[in-house]
A and B are shown apart, each in its own frame.
Chain A
Amino acid sequence: MDPRPTRPEDGEGNRTKLWLGGLTVVFLGLAGIFLAGARSPGPVRADIPLVDPKFLDTTPWRQTYTDLVKAKEDLSDYDCYACHEKSKPPPIRFDDKGKIVIPKEHSNIVMGHGSHDRNDLCYNCHNEQNLETLQVRDGRQVKFDHIPLLCGSCHGPTLRDWDAGAHGRTSGFWDRNLGEAQRLSCANCHDPHTPRISKLAPAPGPHFLHENPAPAAPGH
């Protein structure tokens, strides 16, 4: 005996054809959707702006006397005796609160060396006998291009670190056999009159591909 079922009656045959026709449409429809999905471009990425080139800049913040000499730039700021008179030290004036008065000729100077105005006397560093040099407390005279010696007379540990390469910026070659390293001097970063480095705007943080995660509940 043949175990297979017999062909159904005509009515059932029509129903089967209907089913098959329906399934064909469904299959073709699905195939169409698959194809359309495969062809269409992926989800559009959010636009991330390129970082401002100023954040990639490696040039030092300030130019020292040495840099100005090297670049053959205007040195008139260092030509003290164009205005001052030799052998006549300019007087230092204070207001009634005991704060130093910066003369208007030097209005670009903001005094802020050390907290509580403890180090605002010009002649702590400048040499009153010869304004074109600086002087250390022990009387040694220092030229403008040897300032680490002057700064280090108070900031000893910092000078020691700087000498070892542990303080301050460096660039160039770590391997001194292959090339030179460029070291920066104190005044390349610090304004001697206001040495504290001021706050600055940070570069942009990481951008998210998706929505930001919900901020953690306080206390976590």
Chain B
Amino acid sequence: MSAQPTPPDRTSDAAMTRRSFLRGTAAFGGLTALAASLAPLRELGDFTSTEEFLQKYYKEMTPADMAKALARIEREVKAQYGIRPHVRDLRPMDGVEFVYCLNLTRCIGCRKCVHACVAENNQSRNPEIQYIRVLKMPHGSMDVEKGDHNYDDKQVPDKGFFYMPVQCQQCANPPCVKVCPVNATWQEKDGITVIDYDWCIGCRYCEAACPYFARRFNFTKPEIPKDHLNPEMAYLGNRPRKQGVMEKCHFCIQRTRAGKYPACLEVCPVGARKFGNILDPESEVSYILREKRVFIQLKEEMGTSPRFFYYFDK
């Protein structure tokens, strides 16, 4: 309590000046700081159109919606890369379930599959995003903790080691799908777990849930040289991604749903990679699972039930 009996003069110039000065400074400083903190949002603007923002969830799109979305993607890719791509929405085929088999006796660890995948699937070159990691493992162990994917040998294969390429295992019981809070990733009936890049919110729960480290996050805007873009694209496949979304191996949807082999298989110089329809008893993969020594699945104790099988010859 003040001892002064007279009330303060609140109408005097001095009091108003100080108060308004304080308010003005605070407001100016605050607004400037706010504007500065919002400034990075400007960078997000260049690949998110209103049309994309209003686009529906993949499973709810009508054929007309999809045609519009594909036209938008073609337009945006043309604007960004100067190439008009051929974007399709390929659906799973009837009576087809894909399985991948990899022959650990044959693999020599040359990493050609890693780079063929990057070229086919339009992954960012800088920072590098790669779907396949080739683990160099000491003979006599299946412990992936002993694997090294940064090996820098002059020549491969190195004596005393075998090589185990790891990519998305296309699990029949995928933990990544269970944790997605927005259903932006799901398993299709041909066994491929796909991502709708326009629906993903980039929370990275799926990356944490995957026991195979198969999912990759676009921390920055992906960089692909214009003349390295693969124009043959699929909506759920290799169309260019944007900053802030997840991506992963999708068994080259743009090829395999058109009946072709995946890119990693075709480039493998030793024929260690085999791919096909497990529902067809005549397919290569059916033969391998029937006849070969199959090391069932990687980390099978996780209960993920991968569609990716490692096997041995002889």
B54 at the interface (CB under 8 A from A): no
Expressed in whole angstroms, the minimum distance between the Cβ of B5 and any Cβ of chain A is: 8
A75 at the interface (CB under 8 A from B): no
Expressed in whole angstroms, the minimum distance between the Cβ of A112 and any Cβ of chain B is: 17
With contacts A4-B2, A179-B259, A207-B128 taken as known, whether A35 is within 8 angstroms of B7 at the C-beta atoms is no
A170 touches B261 (CB 8 A): yes
A48 touches B269 (CB 8 A): no
B39 touches A38 (CB 8 A): yes
Chain B residues within an 8 Å CB radius of A170: 261, 265-266, 271, 274, 284
Tell which of A3, A45, A171, A181 touches B2, judged by Cβ atoms closer than 8 Å: A3
Identity of the chain B residue whose Cβ is nearest the Cβ of A36 in the assembled complex:
B36
User: What bracket does the count of chain B residues touching chain A fall in?
Assistant: 35 or more
Tell which of B2, B36, B112, B313 touches A1, judged by Cβ atoms closer than 8 Å: B2
Q: Which of B22-30, B45-53, B178-186, B202-210 contacts A (4 or more CB under 8 A)?
A: B22-30
A30 touches B259 (CB 8 A): no
Tell which of B5, B28, B112, B152 touches A56, judged by Cβ atoms closer than 8 Å: B112
A202 touches B156 (CB 8 A): yes
Identity of the chain B residue whose Cβ is nearest the Cβ of A198 in the assembled complex:
B155
A165 touches B111 (CB 8 A): no
Q: SS class of chain A's interface: helix, strand, loop or mixed?
A: loop
A189 touches B270 (CB 8 A): yes
> Which of chain B's residues 1-33 have a Cβ closer than 8 Å to chain A?
1-2, 4-9, 14-15, 18, 21-22, 25-26, 28-29, 32-33
Chain B residues within an 8 Å CB radius of A113: none
Expressed in whole angstroms, the minimum distance between the Cβ of A20 and any Cβ of chain B is: 6
Expressed in whole angstroms, the Cα–Cα distance for A205 and B15 within the complex equals 69
Chain B residues within an 8 Å CB radius of A38: 36-37, 39-40
Chain B residues within an 8 Å CB radius of A47: 126
Chain B residues within an 8 Å CB radius of A31: 28-29, 32-33, 36
A28 touches B125 (CB 8 A): no
B259 touches A175 (CB 8 A): yes
Tell which of A30, A171, A181 touches B33, judged by Cβ atoms closer than 8 Å: A30
Expressed in whole angstroms, the Cα–Cα distance for A5 and B127 within the complex equals 61
B153 at the interface (CB under 8 A from A): yes
Identity of the chain B residue whose Cβ is nearest the Cβ of A197 in the assembled complex:
B270
Tell which of B6, B26, B287 touches A166, judged by Cβ atoms closer than 8 Å: B287
A6 touches B8 (CB 8 A): yes
With contacts A50-B125, A58-B266 taken as known, whether A166 is within 8 angstroms of B291 at the C-beta atoms is yes
Identity of the chain B residue whose Cβ is nearest the Cβ of A178 in the assembled complex:
B259
- In this complex, how many residues of chain A approach chain B with their Cβ under 8 Å: the count is 65
Expressed in whole angstroms, the minimum distance between the Cβ of A219 and any Cβ of chain B is: 12
Expressed in whole angstroms, the Cα–Cα distance for A2 and B90 within the complex equals 78
Most chain B CB inside 10 Å of its own CB: which residue of A28, A178, A202: A202
B149 touches A174 (CB 8 A): no
B277 at the interface (CB under 8 A from A): yes
With contacts A58-B267, A171-B261 taken as known, whether A205 is within 8 angstroms of B111 at the C-beta atoms is yes
Chain A residues within an 8 Å CB radius of B2: 1-6
A204 at the interface (CB under 8 A from B): yes
Chain B residues within an 8 Å CB radius of A207: 128
Identity of the chain B residue whose Cβ is nearest the Cβ of A25 in the assembled complex:
B25
A172 touches B261 (CB 8 A): yes
Encode B206-242 as 1/0 by CB contact (under 8 A) with A. Answer: 0000000000000010000100100000000000000
A206 touches B150 (CB 8 A): yes
A173 at the interface (CB under 8 A from B): yes
Expressed in whole angstroms, the minimum distance between the Cβ of B152 and any Cβ of chain A is: 6
Q: A20-B18, A38-B37, A170-B274 are in contact. List 5 more A-B contacts (CB 8 A).
A: A5-B8, A51-B119, A58-B266, A157-B314, A189-B271
The 8 closest A-B pairs by CB, nearest first: A178-B259, A34-B36, A175-B259, A27-B29, A38-B39, A31-B32, A165-B284, A203-B111
8 residue pairs from A and B, CB less than 8 Å apart? A7-B14, A20-B21, A35-B32, A48-B125, A197-B108, A199-B108, A203-B112, A207-B128
Q: Give B residues with C-beta under 8 Å from A.
A: 1-2, 4-9, 14-15, 18, 21-22, 25-26, 28-29, 32-33, 35-37, 39-40, 93, 108-112, 114-116, 118-119, 125-128, 130, 133, 149-157, 220, 225, 228, 256, 258-261, 265-271, 274-277, 283-284, 287-288, 291-292, 313-314
